[in-house]
Chain A
């Protein structure tokens, strides 16, 4: 049944109300994972090259204990790089988001899984951020700020720019978000 002022309270079958644990989660953009792998590889390769240069350079004789450290670091750094790459690949696979009519959820974590749910009506303001590499890859990070404080800013990384813009528009055009906050 619906009335003239636009309020409706039509009965919904229970199956239509999606509980949080049954949400169909959407993965982040595939390019986000590739980008993270690239950055990881570059950082570790750069660090490894720096160590190699330090090892080979003829101008400054290294103290013997430093030589020992660098010798071990030269094999340890690539190993750490590979471990981190595997971890990031798996971790990024477990990052998902989902939209319901009134809230947005973001889940992450391999062993320690957590799902943050942000009701749209509690969003204070929205920011869309793009670093230089994200801009090249047409990716964006969406941040939703609530009164829960800076520590609890809701963030979804690795969205396609158009997707992030659509979600921003969804939040801005949400009928509850547009109502006046002061009104009881």
Chain B
């Protein structure tokens, strides 16, 4: 049933017929080889676990090679059988706008993938497909990290024609803005020049380095070398006439002097860390500019390697304005424009982040990305105080009782008293977490607030929602509370202990906006 050698025209006629008339097809028989190799790879990856017992049983295998050979040939036979069965049960059907795949020997899978949801098409050619020029056609959507659909053995002309057909279906849509009337066309032309939205000076980057300590990353990486660095450092200090161990020896110095030394040493180390952090910030963000050209954001930065990242406005999922406690003191905000976070995972360098902008600049950038947003005026719905009680009773209280008691029974009285400090800090953190949580919604946007001492704001259009979850435990139901989870392509935002009417209204309005607007999420 090998039908892969049709011309593009035959394919097109097939792609115009409705599902009911389309025929189920098998891929080329060479797919058996493909499945066999896949099965072999699977067994080979499992073989790693068999190496230790094989070494242990090596002598027995040497004495009885027949049995080992028998087992090996049984394994090979099984691989062949699996490959043939997989090939037999792998069927696909192409019809107007959809590809369907039936697969699986024991566990059956039936996949429907509309062409207009395909984000990425990839042709892959393993070595053994080359002589006969067969290819694997991979079709990805934004649905998950794995390849959603893989047509495993198609002849190249057939695969190319299918790929072109799917791409052609997408073309008219992307050309849509250009085919508008002449007034809009001139507007597009006028807008085609790059417009500078924001740039960062060296002073801004120094502030960013101070408030966003990148040193922890550096310290983590350097952990294996601490000992050598310490020894080397002590030698260097000795040569400079400073004997650290002597300075901190309680037999030679008074406690007060040692305290002063410790304080100045800590300050010195902190200063060193901050300098490193500032250097890191300058290295990454030197010459930072954010431009807008038509609907594209373009970020350029970097001292040694210049990075240029661009993103279409329609790909934007949410705008996050993040401030930690130091940013609050310095009056700065880190603004990031988040896009899809699935299979097209973007690493830190490709993310569009505007480091340490002032509040006014952040507001302007936000207004540019989310026109008519009301983040500054809107009143946030707070979450219930029960959030504090839950955290305290479930986590804080057990630790607060057990830890000092344990220290007390083991005669560490001072430590037992000192444990009050971290416990108090933890309690304050819980209260601050409750204080910061908030959610608000208007006709177009949804706003989420959260944080501890600092505060993060998220702003996104209601129609960017992918899925909503309403959660309620038995106790929450009695108290009229709920948790809501807003799933988007860039991540998940969860608000716990919200009034249940507020929660329901929020989800209902979000769904209504998304279903009513019929706008695409990217």
With beta carbons under 8 angstroms apart, the residue of B106, B144, B474, B489 that contacts A111 is B474
Say yes or no: B111 contacts A121, CB within 8 Å.
no
Say yes or no: B504 contacts A184, CB within 8 Å.
no
With beta carbons under 8 angstroms apart, the residue of B116, B472, B515, B519 that contacts A119 is B515
Docked pose: A118 CA to B510 CA in angstroms: 12
With beta carbons under 8 angstroms apart, the residue of A21, A125, A154 that contacts B148 is A125
Say yes or no: A117 contacts B487, CB within 8 Å.
no
Say yes or no: B108 contacts A135, CB within 8 Å.
yes
CB B373 to nearest CB in A, in angstroms, measures 19
Residues of B within 8 Å of A53, CB to CB, are none
Residues of B within 8 Å of A147, CB to CB, are 141-143, 340, 342, 466, 489, 521-522
Number of residues from B at the complex interface, CB < 8 A? 56
Docked pose: A19 CA to B500 CA in angstroms: 13
Say yes or no: B470 contacts A114, CB within 8 Å.
yes
Docked pose: A14 CA to B16 CA in angstroms: 42
Contact (A125, B514) CB under 8 Å given A114-B469, A152-B487, A180-B173 = no
Say yes or no: B342 contacts A103, CB within 8 Å.
no
CB B522 to nearest CB in A, in angstroms, measures 8
Docked pose: A151 CA to B214 CA in angstroms: 30
CB A103 to nearest CB in B, in angstroms, measures 6
In the complex, number of A-B residue pairs with CB atoms less than 8 Å apart = 167
Docked pose: A115 CA to B492 CA in angstroms: 16
Say yes or no: B143 contacts A124, CB within 8 Å.
yes
Q: A74 contacts the other chain (Cβ, under 8 Å)?
A: no
Residues of A within 8 Å of B511, CB to CB, are 20, 102-103, 117, 119
Say yes or no: B108 contacts A127, CB within 8 Å.
no
Residues of B within 8 Å of A176, CB to CB, are 515, 518
Say yes or no: A146 contacts B143, CB within 8 Å.
yes
Docked pose: A145 CA to B518 CA in angstroms: 18
Docked pose: A131 CA to B466 CA in angstroms: 28
Residues of B within 8 Å of A180, CB to CB, are 116, 169-170, 173, 520
Q: A1 contacts the other chain (Cβ, under 8 Å)?
A: no
Contact (A125, B114) CB under 8 Å given A112-B471, A131-B107, A178-B97 = yes
Chain A, 128-184, CB within 8 A of any chain B CB: 128-132, 135, 145-150, 152-154, 168, 172, 176-184
Q: A122 contacts the other chain (Cβ, under 8 Å)?
A: yes
Say yes or no: B507 contacts A117, CB within 8 Å.
yes
Number of residues from A at the complex interface, CB < 8 A? 46
CB A146 to nearest CB in B, in angstroms, measures 4
Contact (A148, B466) CB under 8 Å given A20-B507, A184-B314 = yes
Say yes or no: B106 contacts A113, CB within 8 Å.
no
Say yes or no: B508 contacts A19, CB within 8 Å.
yes
Residues of B within 8 Å of A114, CB to CB, are 469-472
Q: A116 contacts the other chain (Cβ, under 8 Å)?
A: yes
Chain B, 310-356, CB within 8 A of any chain A CB: 314, 340-342
Say yes or no: B146 contacts A129, CB within 8 Å.
no
Q: A126 contacts the other chain (Cβ, under 8 Å)?
A: yes
Chain B, 369-411, CB within 8 A of any chain A CB: none
Residues of B within 8 Å of A116, CB to CB, are 467-469
Residues of A within 8 Å of B518, CB to CB, are 121, 176, 179
9 A-B residue pairs with Cβ-Cβ distance under 8 Å, sorted by A, are: A112-B472, A115-B469, A121-B514, A122-B466, A128-B111, A145-B143, A150-B143, A172-B98, A177-B114
Q: Which 5 A-B pairs have the closest CB atoms?
A: A145-B143, A124-B143, A182-B173, A147-B142, A148-B466
Known interface pairs A119-B467, A148-B466, A149-B342; 17 further A-B residue pairs with C-beta atoms within 8 A, sorted by A's residue number: A114-B469, A114-B472, A115-B470, A116-B468, A117-B470, A117-B511, A122-B514, A125-B143, A130-B109, A146-B467, A146-B487, A149-B341, A153-B144, A180-B170, A182-B170, A183-B176, A184-B520
Binding site for B on A (CB under 8 A): 19-21, 102-103, 111-119, 121-122, 124-132, 135, 145-150, 152-154, 168, 172, 176-184
